[in-house]
Structure 1
Amino acid sequence: MATTAALAVGQQVATGALFRQAERPSNAEGAATQSAFAKQPLQTSSASAFANGGLKLTHAARPEQRSVRAVAQKISAAVSTAAPAQGERQAQSAKKAVDTKRTVIITGASSGLGLATAKKLAKSGEWHVILACRDFLKAEKAAKAAGLPKDSYTTLHVDLSSLESVRQFVKHFRATERKLDVLVANAAVYKPTAKEPVFTAEGFELSVGTNHLGHFLLVNLLLEDLEKNREAKPRVIIVGSITGNTNTLAGNVPPKANLGDLSGLAAGISEKSASVMIDGGEFDGAKAYKDSKVCNMLTVRELHRRFHDKTGITFSSLYPGCIAETGLFREHYSLFKTLFPLFQKYVTKGYVSEDTAGERLAQVVSDPKLGASGNYWSWNNDQSSFVNDVSDEVADSTKGQKLWEVSEKLVGLK
């Protein structure tokens, strides 16, 4: 219980849950907690950075901040051992329950599309779902609330904004001794209103560092596991977005996705770089997200080109429809969150519920009819699936190869 409590607090500190930039405390989070912190924010990189004492102050520490840091330092030792221990305990629990079910890993499965997909697969009785989530306790609570059978899932911690956390996740998954059938790269962060960039543990701009680089490393590390299960026709699915497809109306809403010559990415998209944007331009939180989704879709095509024939793995992407009320928009303006669902329901007719989107992603996971590799799947209003076109940028094989080579270097694979 002590280590679990320490882990929970450590995760909250590491992910910024205990450090708010608001001028006054939020009622929802408790004025008593908020009053302990100064107005100037503390920035942390990741759970692993916190555990290693890696808190960085962006301003000179005030007395209140020093008090907070003192508390944090007292629990850091417990957290540094609790996170791996928690993962190992969950892995051992899953190991004991190994059965004949197929295994799917879903990142970002504590809410939204990821949870809806996990629910669909877990309740089928045919799948054991690995809930790969940053907030372990949130994922456990969500799984129980969704009614997932106890023997149908295992929760393992992963923070995609930390490459070390990704490596630890792979270690803990392998400790379960489960064969891997499908990997779903679903998790994403979206900072549309951000005025200044936020960075990952390794110093990359957060949206691209998490949505693209974190998943890029995860997929590459697990290719070996998937290939070992070749007879089961394994799959890798990376969730795309219509906003990254500039051959669509939604994809042409400013700011448009554009990777340019990848000069910004090649330079590291870090605090020390001339630009934190892939194309080398000025920071824009909404564009950073859209660019990351173009990277996701390019990665799928490059994975298919490099590995499908020799491994038998199916690589695909999809756009499940517009989940206009998803938590992905939690940081958007209030007016947008009110009007956008109505616009999607009654104007574009592109609105889908989380449950419907989850059914579609589950279909790409398990339906033999959607087993072709290299495809970008979409759905008609009658729920029938089809292979959609991609933008010229996503179809650019030269750019895809360059993206791969740069990404390999950034995540330490080369």
Structure 2
Amino acid sequence: MTTFTTAQIPAMTGRTVVVTGANSGIGRTAARALAARGARVVLAVRDPAKGGAAAATMTGDVVVRRLDLADLASVRAFAEGLTEPIDVLINNAGLMMPPLGRTADGFELQFGTNHLGHFALTNLLLPRIRGRVVTVSSTGHRAGTIDFDDLNWERRPYRAFPAYAQSKLANLLFTAELHRRLTEAGSPVRATAAHPGLAATNLLGHLDHDRSLLHRLQTAVTNRLAQSDEDGALPTLYAAVADVPGGSYAGPGGFLEGRGAPKLVGRSKAARDDGAARRLWTVSEELTGVTFPLPAQRAR
């Protein structure tokens, strides 16, 4: 079995890749690797100045477009402004355990950004996607449950990690249902998912103010055990370009999927609940006003 590295990324000349949250971390690293192989890479970022700084570190055809996944108007504007065919969409951007916040449309910030924003973006772009949709989840999905009675944490006391875990579980349910719908529509597009393992990125940067003993311990453990951005991006790249089936989930192959070369990995029982995936899709359509754009293939 060949270990996947960036050397296994095929020539990408003539292909367009969109990467959300590509101004830092594994998103920036994945974008840089794909641009180096000849892809036209669109950095979809909330802050164009930071996106421009990231683009300046890359070689090849790299452009920056503003996208705020916490604002459905911004998602629609981005989709309307991107008219070219898209070969790979990488839904990478995400928030991890911020204080309670709301999106521009009133959704709990993590669910609204990590799931609903990407849900809307994918469906709006889908008529122009011709290759693959990769959505970045987390091992944290294993602690997640979908509370359909309170998706936006309006009735319960807010707890940052359970809210994060719910959003990451939603990413996998979204991937499963998108794969089912693409198959039913007879589409050649594949939906896959990935997680970076324990990657030393700035995802927890908003917690820098937290000087508690627990936080200092978590930071020390992360810094000692985490993969680099380069290694953390490999499962995403593997899910984006390797010959893997639709609906698959890639992650590091090492101890507890924390680090190591990418491979296809398992997911929680909750993430394999087809009924929950369909229900979440329906609710997500209602909340965002965005629907699956491809008709089902008629039986011949």
The alignment's TM-score, normalised by the length of structure 1, stands at: 0.62
**1:116 partnered with 2:13:** no
| Contact 2:13/2:40 (8 A) holds in 1 | no
- Could you tell me how far apart the structure 1 residues matched to 2:265 and 2:234 are? 18
CA deviations over 1:206-242 (Å, ceiling 9, x no partner): 111111111000011111111xx3xxxx110000101
- Could you tell me how far apart the structure 2 residues matched to 1:389 and 1:358 are? 18
Distance 1:345 1:199, change over 3 A: closer
| Contact 1:108/1:188 (8 A) holds in 2 | yes
**1:410 partnered with 2:287:** yes
Equivalence for 1:374: 247
Equivalence for 1:54: none
CA deviations over 1:7-28 (Å, ceiling 9, x no partner): xxxxxxxxxxxxxxxxxxxxxx
CA deviations over 1:322-347 (Å, ceiling 9, x no partner): 11x3211112224556433542466x
Q: 1:169 aligns with which of 50, 69, 78?
A: 78
SS of 2:150 mapped into structure 1: helix
Equivalence for 1:143: 55
- Could you tell me how far apart the structure 1 residues matched to 2:33 and 2:290 are? 34
Equivalence for 1:339: 217
CA deviations over 1:131-150 (Å, ceiling 9, x no partner): 00000011101221xx212x
Distance 1:100 1:343, change over 3 A: closer
The within-5 A match list for 1:8-27 is: none
The alignment's TM-score, normalised by the length of structure 2, stands at: 0.84
Which structure is higher in RCO with an 8 Å CA cutoff and minimum separation 6? 2
- Could you tell me how far apart the structure 2 residues matched to 1:312 and 1:137 are? 36
CA deviations over 1:75-104 (Å, ceiling 9, x no partner): xxxxxxxxxxxxxxxxxxxxxxxx952111
Q: 1:127 aligns with which of 14, 17, 39?
A: 39
- Could you tell me how far apart the structure 2 residues matched to 1:159 and 1:293 are? 18
- Could you tell me how far apart the structure 2 residues matched to 1:336 and 1:366 are? 38
Equivalence for 2:146: 259
| Contact 2:235/2:250 (8 A) holds in 1 | no
Runs (5+) with no aligned partner, structure 2: 1-11, 292-300
Tell me how large the CA RMSD over aligned residues is: 2.0
**1:322 partnered with 2:198:** yes
SS of 1:181 mapped into structure 2: strand
Runs (5+) with no aligned partner, structure 1: 1-98, 247-256, 270-274
Normalized per residue, the structure richer in helix is 1
Following TM superposition, by how much is the alpha carbon of 1:389 offset from its aligned partner in structure 2, in angstroms? 1.6
| Contact 1:160/1:210 (8 A) holds in 2 | yes
Distance 1:384 1:141, change over 3 A: closer
| Contact 1:308/1:315 (8 A) holds in 2 | no
| Contact 2:132/2:240 (8 A) holds in 1 | yes
| Contact 1:183/1:235 (8 A) holds in 2 | yes
* Number of corresponding residues: 272
Between Structure 1 and Structure 2, whose CA radius of gyration is higher?
1
- Could you tell me how far apart the structure 2 residues matched to 1:154 and 1:390 are? 34
Following TM superposition, by how much is the alpha carbon of 1:285 offset from its aligned partner in structure 2, in angstroms? 1.9
Equivalence for 1:389: 266
